[in-house]
Structure 1
Amino acid sequence: MSAPIERLPAEVLVLGEALVDVVREPDGTESRSPGGSPMNVAVALGRLGSQVQLRTALGTDADGDLVAEHLAASRVSLLEPRRGRTSTATATIAADGSAEYEFDIHWELEERPPTTATAVHAGSIALFLEPGASAVGQALQDGGGFVSVDPNIRPAMMPSPQEARGRLEELVPVIDVLKISEEDSAWLFPEREPLDVAGRYSDAGVALVVVTRGARGSVLLSRAASVEVAAPRVEVVDTIGAGDSYMGALLFLLLRELRAGDGLSHLTASDLTWLGTFSATAAALTVTRRGADPPTLDQLRGALIDKTWPSVP
């Protein structure tokens, strides 16, 4: 009999917020669903088959139960003990479709010894909101494997762009993989083009930089090559979790096929194209479904069956 998932060594350790998205409709109805960018990345990895652990601040309340059940269903092991109440992000929808947002975010982590995970990923609010941000930064500094970061900017919960840039700059020496959306880039560096920002981080030593551009696809840069990858054309239901599915698929493929810890900075144009196509397909499947609902590996295999690329894991 195999060991329980929570006792297996983590192939990927994800650090960051798990919360409940609350949507209040004009007619007074309310829905609640698990959310948070890092949690979505962990779920994407778990559904694809990676061993993944999530360090997050999750409460002992009913919202925490909802998130914990969602994680368990996707084979994500919850590493941090549950305590207190669960964070929420509430959107109140007006009759004209506009929304007002209210955040109730609690972000604090206990200090832990360095991880033995192959990869460590962190992103979004967790990178910038204290007191937890310092623990996340230390965990990334101490990570034994390769480190990936997705700033996934949430302006309402961020310090100033200048402070956020400073926090990101502190981490650059340990970041191996950086994914940044055009929206993230515009907020962090309003006077620079996103590809210039990507080149800046690549020149600073980040081995793989990815710029996601929504329906216009993505651009991937290593020290050996750069490529532009188109996004598959699909009927979009909503875009929630698309970038997180892309990130999860990217990390999964790096771990499974490209041996991310060995020669990552020398990824060829062919490697980058395959990475971008695989990840963009995962994102495309996600946007055809309601909410952050990343695909399983079998679903992704089916969507890639006609592609003439290296074998799908």
Structure 2
Amino acid sequence: MARSGSPGSITVLGECVADIFQNPAQSGPDGLSLRAMPGGGPANTAVALARLGTPTRFLGRFSNDVFGTLFRTRLHASGVDLTGSVTACEPSTLAVADLDAAGQAAYTFYADGAADWQWTDRELAEASKSDAVCLHTGSLALIRHPGGSRIEDYLAQAREHATVSIDPNVRPLLVPPSAYRDRLTRWCAVADILRLSEDDCALLAPGASLEEACDTWHAAGTHLVVITLGGRGALVSLDGLRVTVPAPPVVVVDTVGAGDAFTAGLLHRLEALGHLGSRLDEIALEDVTDACTFAAHVAALTCSVPGANPPWADESALRISTE
């Protein structure tokens, strides 16, 4: 049953990452010119949600270095509530991006001992007071030690009152895919929504078709599985009822943050339709299709600009898409 009333808030828990890009025009044999842009899958999702108009809180561990200041500034400027976040002495996580001719990014990570993975039980307990209708997490914060297992426990508690959304966002350069596969069944048992990319599926369910993978994750407990397919749109599976949502045409500058923007668009639209705060066991495929169509548009707009820079709700192209 859809929930009615004032808009509910969404909490996002996870990491911030400094995405480092080369500036070829200012680089030469004497050195590289680099530009640092605030990123990280969960932080990108929180920014996109807030810009779309959803009340959003981000739970993160911010280093006291220059990158930590950059992260806080970006989130605050986008309207994200940082209540419950932690200021930490450990360094920020860095990801050096190498873009190919199609704008696809490959990353080299500098993440050992970073602030993002050091959640303590006490920190999470102090952050747990929330009336959010949804908790979204995933990516590296959910898999890396020592904080990942503590976040799993936090999800189990949050599930008592909120829809749980997870994006595994597999990073094989940092964590073996087998580690994700070992824990994915546990995540599906608490997740109402699993949003992942086609590349993630290849690593998490090797040899299986996308449909077979969806059915496996449904059987483990997740009602809604959404697999983004890049320029081909997204495969939506609601307890085995499936539809493919097309991606709108766009001139791609790069794909950085596109999946995170899709997740934000999906959650934003599900909240607008009154479905968050539930187990999604009574939602209709029509509403899920509507939400994923909106999400694909938000992702396309993000691909049309450099970096993870999702659109604001008052942008004309976004307004047209919701009419």
* TM-score, with length taken from structure 1: 0.87
Deviation at 1:262, TM superposition (A): 4.0
Contact 1:208 1:265 in 2 (8 A): no
Partner in structure 2 of residue 129 of structure 1: 144
Contact 1:220 1:228 in 2 (8 A): yes
Deviation at 1:203, TM superposition (A): 2.8
**Structure 2 residue aligned with 1:13, among 11, 28, 47?**
11
More off after superposition, 179-188 vs 50-59: 50-59
1:147 aligns with 2:153: no
- 1:80–1:233 CA distance, 2 compared to 1 (3 A): same
- 1:146–1:61 CA distance, 2 compared to 1 (3 A): same
Partner in structure 1 of residue 312 of structure 2: 296
User: Partners in 2 of 1:169 and 1:286 — Cα distance?
Assistant: 31
Q: Secondary structure at the match of 2:149?
A: helix
Partner in structure 2 of residue 229 of structure 1: 245
What do residues 221-258 of structure 1 show as CA deviations (whole Å, max 9, x unaligned)? 11373211100011111001010000011111111213
1:49 aligns with 2:53: yes
Contact 1:147 1:175 in 2 (8 A): yes
Deviation at 1:162, TM superposition (A): 2.3
Q: Secondary structure at the match of 1:42?
A: helix
Q: Secondary structure at the match of 1:289?
A: coil
Contact 1:13 1:54 in 2 (8 A): yes
Q: Secondary structure at the match of 2:88?
A: coil
User: Partners in 1 of 2:236 and 2:39 — Cα distance?
Assistant: 27
Partner in structure 2 of residue 118 of structure 1: 133
Deviation at 1:100, TM superposition (A): 7.1
Q: CA RMSD in A?
A: 2.4
Partner in structure 2 of residue 68 of structure 1: 72
Partner in structure 2 of residue 29 of structure 1: 33
What is the number of equivalent residue pairs in this alignment?
A: 296
Structure 1 alignment gaps of length 5 or more: 1-8
Contact 1:15 1:54 in 2 (8 A): yes
- 1:40–1:100 CA distance, 2 compared to 1 (3 A): closer
1:156 aligns with 2:173: yes
Deviation at 1:62, TM superposition (A): 1.2
Partner in structure 2 of residue 5 of structure 1: none
User: Partners in 2 of 1:10 and 1:77 — Cα distance?
Assistant: 14
Partner in structure 2 of residue 181 of structure 1: 197
**Structure 2 residue aligned with 1:88, among 76, 91, 94?**
94
Deviation at 1:73, TM superposition (A): 0.7
Q: Secondary structure at the match of 1:266?
A: coil
More off after superposition, 172-181 vs 250-259: 250-259
Q: Secondary structure at the match of 2:247?
A: coil
Deviation at 1:91, TM superposition (A): 4.0
User: Partners in 2 of 1:65 and 1:168 — Cα distance?
Assistant: 33
Q: Percent of pairs identical after alignment?
A: 35
More off after superposition, 106-115 vs 226-235: 106-115
Deviation at 1:93, TM superposition (A): 8.2
* TM-score, with length taken from structure 2: 0.85
Deviation at 1:304, TM superposition (A): 5.5
Contact 1:224 1:265 in 2 (8 A): no
Structure 2 alignment gaps of length 5 or more: 1-6
1:168 aligns with 2:174: no
Within 5 Å, give how 1:154-303 maps onto structure 2: 154-158=171-175, 160-223=176-239, 225-262=241-278, 264-299=280-315, 302-303=317-318
What do residues 68-90 of structure 1 show as CA deviations (whole Å, max 9, x unaligned)? 11001111122322122222122
